[in-house]
A and B are shown apart, each in its own frame.
Chain A
Amino acid sequence: MSLFCAYGTLHGNSFYFSAYSSWASILIFVLEALLSLYIVTLGIKHQRPLVVGLVLAQFIAITYLEFFSGHHLEAKYNFFIDQFSAIMALIIGIIGTLICVFAIGYMQDFKHHHEEQPDRRPFFFFLLFVFLSAMFGIVFSNNLVWLYFFWEVTTACSFLLIGYTRTEEATRNAFRAIEVNLIGGLCFVIALGILIYSTGTIEINKLLTISKAAAIIPVALLSIAGLTKSAQLPVCDWLLGAMVAPTPVSALLHSSTMVKAGVYLVLRFASVLQGTLMGSTIAMIGAVTFLFTSLIAITENNAKRLLAYSTIANLGLVILCAGIGSAQAVWAGILLIIFHALAKGLLFLCVGTVEHRKHSREIEMMEGLITSMPGLATFMLIGMAGMFLAPFGMLISKWAVLKALVDVNPLLSVIVAFGGAANLFFWVKWMGKLLLAITPPVGQEKDVSREEFVSLGILAVLTVLICALFPLISSCYIEPYLYSLYDKSVSMSNGNIIIMLIMLGLILLFPLISINFDRSTKYVAPYLGGANTDTPGTFKDSLGNNRPFAMKNYLLDEFFAEKKLYPIGVGLTWILLIIMFVLLFIK
């Protein structure tokens, strides 16, 4: 289906669908009521007054708006597809499908590892599919009330999937996630209310055309909802807690798609935020998040937490682009979404697969993966290269981000420069860990199921392929979209694209590594100050005993400790949020 939509938008501009019917609105309202009821019951069962309160507040507000406010909440067009939606749909469709295929194999393994728990796999897959449909709903909705409904459905799915294992930790983290997202949802409802009373429209396309002054307040509130959904500082801890969920959930909801819904919403309204003080404040929140989470990630040894921090950082970069809101920035932001979804999805799935073989999420345990699990290690290396190295995707977008910032706000680009250096550090460190092999290999890859391997392989190929195809995506989708918003378009110059492609071609020569090209090389043991022994991985100590040696990565704890930096980041972003609220009240 997403392919079909993508093909449609390739030629035309945007399509709007009225899809009008009162029964659809009523159906959505009934579903919303049932959903609220379900969450309230769960909230009461686990004694979470905050959750119950938030759900009730939202429900009462939305009921009032829909039935008693005296305004007609009818939208002319409830659904639409434009190039941006089509890109999002492609991401959700392709990556979502691959992750679901992967989950089939993975959940079988997961069951073996968690024998004590009842088998709730049908429920798991049901949630995944409900979630995917809701995501399609979000990107295709033109009616903000409908978008709000789909938004809440994804929140609920995320909540239930985080709590899937039903351990105490999982339940606690699930409630933390839903609390934060419900606060975002509440902002969404308030935005709807203001929108209805001040402008009388609930359609995205109309909101984009009315005057900036009228649109800025609801857009700012919607952006706060977006910030909570994409786990920006100061509320990013829910995403870290969400890592207790099974890996396909982390890959699908918490890196590739659901958190992208938040940045999608903010990026949608980027043209409203452009050049406003509100936009600059939002951009600052993104920049601070990018810098601090990148630095903290250096000290992280837990693979999934590191990936979570890096996800938050990259979402921060997209928020930064959206806050700037110029055509160049939006171009960079959309590309970031595409590249990040692919590479990060791939990395999460790889880490999950390795975790089942090694029984650990520690990065230090992944030593020598290149010899013990060559396939998985190769996929991981591709994913990591895709995250930070030229000529791969994320670097193309980082180039564009810097270019966009330097015209508008050069000081922010300095923040990006520092954050980028931190990114470089922790990714290379991890790559090195995979490549390092002291002892002879033990094959551990045989029992990886076919579903897992195939979906990982496709994701890896796509990660590389997308770098070659990005000029095409840019000219067919992003540029027309920008043209419709800004009456001008941006891209990378042809010369730079050619240079990128040449570099990509050179990098692709790297698999030559497996060819035995020079037979004259001679193998020797590593230098150990003359204390080598016959057993690899050991040396002779001063008493003549064989003693194993080990190599560990630097974590730079004394500089970037989570305990030290996290509160500073939270403090800074709270100040920025307060500035946002002050701006809201002044207006």
Chain B
Amino acid sequence: MNIFLILIAYIILTPLTGGLLTGLDRIITARMQSRIGPPLLQPFYDVAKLFSKENLVVRKAQNLFIIFHLLFLIVTGALFFCGGDFLLVVFAFALAGVFFILGGYRTSSPYSHIGSERELIQMMAYEPMLIITAIGLYMTTHSFNVFDIMSAGKPLLPQLLGIFLGFLFILPIKMRKSPFDLSMSHHAHQELVKGITTEFSGPTLALLEIAHWFELILILGIIILFFPNNVWLGLAVECAVFFLVILVDNTFARLRWQTVLKASWLATFILGMGNIFILSILKICHS
């Protein structure tokens, strides 16, 4: 397949699917709370409305950080879906996240500041697990390249069960769901001031929303990597995971940051490192 075609399809389809999934998320969440909920296309209406609003800032530069956040998320996703090096994808993803956090700091507002600090703690909490995922995929397929991993031709889940579970554990952090939605809650159901995004308004907030769609699709894309021989099974698991995260979001309250950091590092250590340990022992036994 032509790489440019994939790139174009990626840039058009990602925001569409991301927006639709967010809309679906809002409907499911509403049903779980015995509400009817907004129409499916509500996220798109929101973004359109936000673009027509006035752009209010505390510090001018704050908006540029968000533009770069979105830009690098798009680059990260492009790298992933066009078959780049998965380790580089993880690093580029971190770069995009750093721009968001620095934007929060730059606003120089106390609420944003707390949000930034918490976002940073969350990042420290999930970062090792992402790298371990890359290492695990490499150990089973001997490549960091996304296309190579996808053409592995064998189910990876049995060998990488621990890593898969560890990845699921940190998923709510990136999807901004309870109990790990410390820096900002996506649905604002348990906070008065909207964390790191407090000072972002109008078009900039719209960009952040779009950035979140890109993020969502990238993360769901990573789950597919565990099912290289059967993409349909992967998609089915994906739907189940998506539903599970929403269910957890609606049944758990937000945790303290201490607990989040401890829990995710512990999960990374036991599930991720344990998995890698078993894989290396198997490797030694084989050779």
A422 within 8 A of B: yes
> CB-CB < 8 A to A429: which residues of B?
117, 120
Identify which of residues 50-96 in chain B touch chain A, using a CB-to-CB cut-off of 8 Å: 54-61, 63-64, 68, 71-72, 75, 79, 84-85, 87-88, 91-92, 94-95
Say which one of B11-19, B24-32, B242-250, B275-283 lies at the interface with A.
Answer: B275-283
Identify which of residues 394-426 in chain A touch chain B, using a CB-to-CB cut-off of 8 Å: 395, 398-399, 402-403, 406, 409-411, 413-414, 416-418, 420-422, 424-425
Name which residue of chain B comes closest to A381, CB basis.
Answer: B102
| Contact among A410, A424, A499, A523 with B135 in the assembled complex (CB-CB below 8 Å) | A410
Chain A 131-163 interface 0/1 with B at a Cβ cutoff of 8 Å (1 = within): 000000000000000000000000000000000
| Contact among B55, B102, B138 with A428 in the assembled complex (CB-CB below 8 Å) | B102
Whether A521 touches B276, Cβ cut-off 8 Å, given contacts A417-B128, A435-B105, is no
Task: Please tell me if the beta carbons of A389 and B105 are within 8 angstroms of each other in the complex.
Answer: no
Q: How many A-B residue pairs have CB under 8 A?
A: 175
Identify which of residues 108-165 in chain B touch chain A, using a CB-to-CB cut-off of 8 Å: 108-113, 116-117, 120-121, 123-125, 127-128, 131-132, 134-135, 138-139, 144
B183 within 8 A of A: no
Task: Please tell me if the beta carbons of B193 and A410 are within 8 angstroms of each other in the complex.
Answer: no
**Which of B102, B121, B277 gathers most chain A CB within 10 Å?**
B102
A1 within 8 A of B: no
Task: Please tell me if the beta carbons of B95 and A524 are within 8 angstroms of each other in the complex.
Answer: no
| Contact among B56, B88, B106 with A522 in the assembled complex (CB-CB below 8 Å) | B56
Query: How far is the CB of A522 from the nearest CB of chain B, in Å?
Result: 5
A213 within 8 A of B: no
Task: Please tell me if the beta carbons of B124 and A521 are within 8 angstroms of each other in the complex.
Answer: no
B40 within 8 A of A: no
Whether A506 touches B139, Cβ cut-off 8 Å, given contacts A428-B98, A526-B107, A551-B113, is no
**Which of A429, A526, A549 gathers most chain B CB within 10 Å?**
A526
Dominant SS among interface residues on chain A: helix
Query: How far is the CB of A415 from the nearest CB of chain B, in Å?
Result: 9
> CB-CB < 8 A to B277: which residues of A?
411
Chain A 516-538 interface 0/1 with B at a Cβ cutoff of 8 Å (1 = within): 11101111111111000000000
Task: Please tell me if the beta carbons of B127 and A417 are within 8 angstroms of each other in the complex.
Answer: yes
> CB-CB < 8 A to A428: which residues of B?
98, 101-102, 120, 123
Whether A510 touches B199, Cβ cut-off 8 Å, given contacts A414-B132, A429-B120, A521-B57, is no
Task: Please tell me if the beta carbons of A524 and B121 are within 8 angstroms of each other in the complex.
Answer: no
Name which residue of chain A comes closest to B279, CB basis.
Answer: A410
Name which residue of chain B comes closest to A432, CB basis.
Answer: B105
Query: How far is the CB of B145 from the nearest CB of chain A, in Å?
Result: 9
> CB-CB < 8 A to A418: which residues of B?
128, 265, 268
B261 within 8 A of A: yes
Task: Please tell me if the beta carbons of A402 and B131 are within 8 angstroms of each other in the complex.
Answer: yes
B34 within 8 A of A: no
Task: Please tell me if the beta carbons of B110 and A558 are within 8 angstroms of each other in the complex.
Answer: no
3 nearest A-B residue pairs (beta carbon): A526-B109, A432-B105, A417-B131
